[in-house]
Structures are given as C-alpha cells and as structure tokens.
C-alpha cells in the first residue's frame, strides 16, 4: 500500500486551496520562527552608518581617507547582508556591535573605531527604528489603499443590490450591499490618513542626539537628516531620547484602529456567510477546513483578523505603559518598545491584503439579500417618513400610528393596509392614503429610490460619495508616490555626495 505524506489535515473537499501567504497568516507562529529584531534593522543601520560616516568626513571630525575606507567596508558589508551572508552573532549583543566588529576585523580599530565618534547607540538605534517604522507606515498605506480600491470597485457594482441594514443585530432599514462596502472603504481611508499623519509627526532624524545631551563635536545634523530622507533633525535631543516609545505607540494606535475596522468587516462577513444568513459565500482560497469534520469550510482568515485586533490592543497597551514612568533622559526599558512594535507590524501588515482577497473572491447572493428585505417590518420607517412627507403629520404622531399598525400586523412581515387604517382611526386621522402607497412605500427598491440624503444608499448619493472616496484614495496614492520619490532622492543624494 502506497503511503501518503500529509502536509495539512484538511482540504480534500476544497475546489481551490488557500495560498501559502494565507496559510502563513492563519498559522501564525505555530511552526514559523520570528527573526531577531535587529535582523530587520540591519539594512537601516548600514544606511545610518554610511550617512554618519560621510558627515564625519564632511565636517572634518575624521580624516576623509579613513572615512573612505570605512565607507567602502560598509558597502562590502551591505552586499553580504543582501546576499544573506551576514548572520548576526548573538555574542555581539546587537546589530550595531556586529557591524562595528566586522569593520574592526577588516580595517583595524585605528580606522573602524572612528565611526562611532559623536554618537551613542541611543540615537543610532532610535534612527534605525525610525527608518524601519517609516517604511512600515508606507507599506500600511499601500496595503490599505489596495483594499480600499477593491472595496470601491465592488461598491460600484452593487449600488443596486438591496439588503437589510441592521441595528442591535436586528432588521432596521433597507440599504444596499454597495452602501455597506462604501462604509468599509470610508473607515479605511481614515486609517490611511492616520498613517500619513504619523509620517508628518515623526519623520525627523534622531541621529546626533547622542545620549540625549548632544555632543561637543561640530556635527551637521541637517546634512545626515537629508541623506536619510527625513524632513529635518529633531529639535530637542533630550525629548527624542526620553520619548523613544512615542513614535512606536503612535503607530501602534494607528494599527489598532485599522485592525478594529478590519475586525468589524470580518465579523460582518462571517455572519453574512453563515447558513442562517446565506447572503455571501467565502471562496475556498480564504477558508480552511477541520481536522475531523470533512464538511467544514471555516472563515479562519477572518477570525484570525479578529484575533489580531485583540492582540494589537494588548501591544498598544504595552507601548503606552513604556512611556508613563520614564525619568528624563535615556531609560533602558524603552528598548522593549522595539520588540513590541515589530511584533505588531509582523502580525498585522498582511491583514489588509488578506481582506482584499476575501472581498475580491466573495460570492454575493442577491436573491437572498433581497428576500431579507421583505421581513421584520423593515420598511416601517420609510412608511412613517412618507406619511409625514405626503400628509404633513407631526413626526411623533406618525411614529405612534406606525407603531400601532406594526402591532396590529403581528404575524406578517410588513404593515398591512387594514392595520394602518385602524391605527389612523385610533389617532383620529382620516388621511387619504391608498393601499398602493402603503405597499410601494415598503418596497425595498422604491425605498432606495426615495432615499435622498447625502451619504445614504440612494443612487445619486452613492454616485457622489463614491466619487469623493475615489478622490481621497487618489490623494493617498499620490502621497505614496511622493514618499517613494523622497526616499529615492535621499539615496541618490548620499550616492552623489560620495
């Protein structure tokens, strides 16, 4: 009998299996190791070292000949790092010591020992981390914008797909699937705006702050800031070193809000995809199976997003706690903010892309959505509003009339004409309302056509709001392009100066 290898305990009933990226997203750290924090900082530390080396030579703090040898060594080391041939040695404590030790081995302490002039590991690691965070912010904006783009495509396609809107998990008023998707896009665009605001607040260079109290060497902080693509140097050396946690906590907050929004979307889709709702169906690529139940196709990627939202809230709490009891100056406990923010980024950065795949491959059951709009007196509010519009009833009186009509229509799904007539009679109102009007004002399609308020599911309103959302999305795409240009410009400036 031929033996079979088992890579996972489910999937034979699936038409398509999830991608490796989705499996990795849902599996988390179960079988995958997390790389050392400083391994992520290696390319940034090399960049910072190059900029610092050039500045030391420019200002005459170290001889240009020595700076040239150091710079050449950094270039060689950068090539090794890109080829994966420079593993960090745990015996050397951190990435900074690993790099300096390598340079010392190659150049001797007489030359390599000059690189650390006029700086401390405080400002060095702070700058590395700031550069790392800056790139993650750009990636969060890009990933979230990609999701928003897909949501807007689907929203436009479903502006006429009527469905029930909910409050308190119960039928409330008629809306459209396009309106719901546009709501998701709107909240996510606010998230991208938060990330861009982070960039505005924190794109300043900590390099040159040393141990928090500056240096007597004639360094040029504006020059190194330009070579690293910052908007300038931080204006107070003590503030930046003391509040090392702050940029991390700000980003943690931004990610936590994003993950809460993604969790909201996930929970909505999970419920709508249940057999009880049956409004949407998740694609096999974004489902997983059971180790024991052959029939199961579970919304695990969406549930993992919910779990990561809670995980993020915990990390944010930790980041905030790091900053609450610092004494002025450097505090070693702030080192742990690096681990917290890197874990948060590692867990959450793929989430918008996973959600984009879910939305893109989702099957919408228009028939079921429409059928749900004929239940639970969902047209009662519009019926009330039309009585007010047509016959100028006071709102509070009209509400009492419809409440009585709903009660008299118990056992039905809509307010009946006889029940409304009885309610009007009870209130002493002899309105010339017709049965056709009562029927039409509770018709889901007519309700949507009657909805005129901006931001609502009405056709014209959706057209206008989608246009505005596209404009906001384009603004974020322009911001991304600008940041890419700025980074390229900084790298070009460093190269040209050399």
Domains of the chain: 35-118 (1.10.275.10), 380-441 (no CATH)
Catalytic-labelled residue, pool 19, 290, 310, 449: 290
**For residues 463 and 496, what is the distance between their CA atoms, to the nearest angstrom?**
49
For residue 11, what pLDDT is reported?
Answer: 59
Task: Output the six-digit token pair for 282.
Answer: 């998740």
**Burial class for 162, CB neighbours closer than 10 Å (0-12, 13-18, 19+):** buried
Give me the residues of the chain with pLDDT under 70, please: 1-15, 289-291, 293-296
Among 438, 286, 430, residue whose Cα is nearest residue 353: 286
Among 445, 317, 436, 475, residue whose Cα is nearest residue 379: 445
**For residues 332 and 329, what is the distance between their CA atoms, to the nearest angstrom?**
10
**For residues 211 and 238, what is the distance between their CA atoms, to the nearest angstrom?**
8
The per-residue DSSP string of 24-36 comes to HHHHTTSS-PPPP
Annotated catalytic residue 470: no
Catalytic-labelled residue, pool 168, 325, 392, 453: 168
Annotated catalytic residue 290: yes
Task: Output the six-digit token pair for 250.
Answer: 């700000």
Backbone angles phi, psi at 174, to 5 degrees: -75, 140
**For residues 285 and 358, what is the distance between their CA atoms, to the nearest angstrom?**
8
For the full predicted model, state whether its pTM sits above 0.85. Answer: yes
């Amino acid at each position: 009998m031929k033996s079979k290898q088992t890579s996972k305990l489910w999937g034979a009933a699936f038409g398509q299996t999830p991608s490796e990226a989705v499996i990795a997203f849902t599996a988390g750290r179960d079988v995958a190791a997390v790389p050392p924090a400083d391994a992520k900082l290696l390319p940034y530390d090399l960049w910072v070292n190059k900029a610092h080396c050039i500045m030391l030579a420019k200002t005459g703090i170290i001889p240009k000949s020595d700076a040239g040898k150091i710079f050449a060594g950094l270039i060689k080391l950068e090539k090794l790092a890109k080829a994966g041939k420079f593993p960090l040695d745990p015996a050397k404590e951190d990435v900074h010591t690993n790099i300096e030790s390598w340079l010392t081995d190659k150049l001797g302490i007489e030359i390599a020992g000059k690189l650390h002039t006029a700086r401390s590991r405080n400002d060095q690691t702070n700058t590395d981390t700031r550069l790392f965070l800056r790139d993650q912010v750009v990636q969060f904006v890009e990933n979230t914008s990609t999701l928003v783009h897909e949501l807007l495509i689907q929203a436009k396609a479903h502006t006429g797909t009527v469905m029930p809107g909910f409050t308190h998990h119960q039928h409330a008023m008629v809306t459209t699937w396009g309106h719901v998707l546009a709501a998701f896009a709107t909240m996510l665009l606010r998230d991208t705006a938060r990330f861009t605001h982070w960039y505005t607040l924190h794109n300043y260079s900590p390099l040159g702050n040393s141990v928090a109290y500056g240096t007597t060497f004639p360094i040029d902080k504006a020059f190194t800031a330009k070579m690293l693509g910052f908007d300038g140097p931080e204006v107070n050396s003590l503030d930046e070193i003391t509040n090392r946690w702050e940029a991390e906590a700000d980003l943690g907050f931004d990610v936590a809000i994003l993950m809460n929004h993604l969790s909201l979307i996930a929970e909505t889709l999970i419920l709508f995809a249940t057999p009880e709702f049956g409004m949407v169906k998740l694609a096999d690529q974004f489902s997983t199976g059971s180790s024991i139940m052959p029939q199961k196709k579970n919304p695990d990627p969406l549930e993992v997003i919910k779990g990561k939202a809670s995980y993020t809230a915990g990390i944010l709490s930790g980041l905030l706690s790091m900053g609450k009891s610092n004494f002025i100056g450097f505090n070693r406990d702030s080192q742990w903010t690096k681990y917290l923010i890197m874990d948060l980024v590692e867990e959450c950065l793929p989430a918008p892309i996973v959600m984009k795949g879910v939305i893109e491959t989702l099957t919408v059951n228009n028939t079921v959505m429409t059928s749900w709009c004929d239940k639970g007196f969902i047209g009662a509010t519009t019926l009330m509003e039309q009585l007010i519009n047509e016959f100028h009833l006071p709102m509070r009186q009209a509400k009492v009339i419809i409440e009585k009509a709903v009660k008299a229509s118990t056992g039905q799904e809509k307010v009946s004409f006889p029940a409304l007539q009885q309610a009007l009679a009870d209130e002493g109102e002899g309105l010339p309302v017709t049965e056709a009007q009562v029927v039409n004002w509770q018709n889901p399609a007519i309700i949507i056509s009657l909805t005129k308020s901006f931001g609502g599911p009405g056709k014209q309103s959706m057209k206008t709001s989608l246009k505005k959302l596209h404009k906001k999305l384009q603004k974020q795409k322009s911001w991304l392009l600008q940041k890419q240009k700025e980074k390229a410009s900084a790298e070009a400036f460093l190269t040209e100066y050399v």
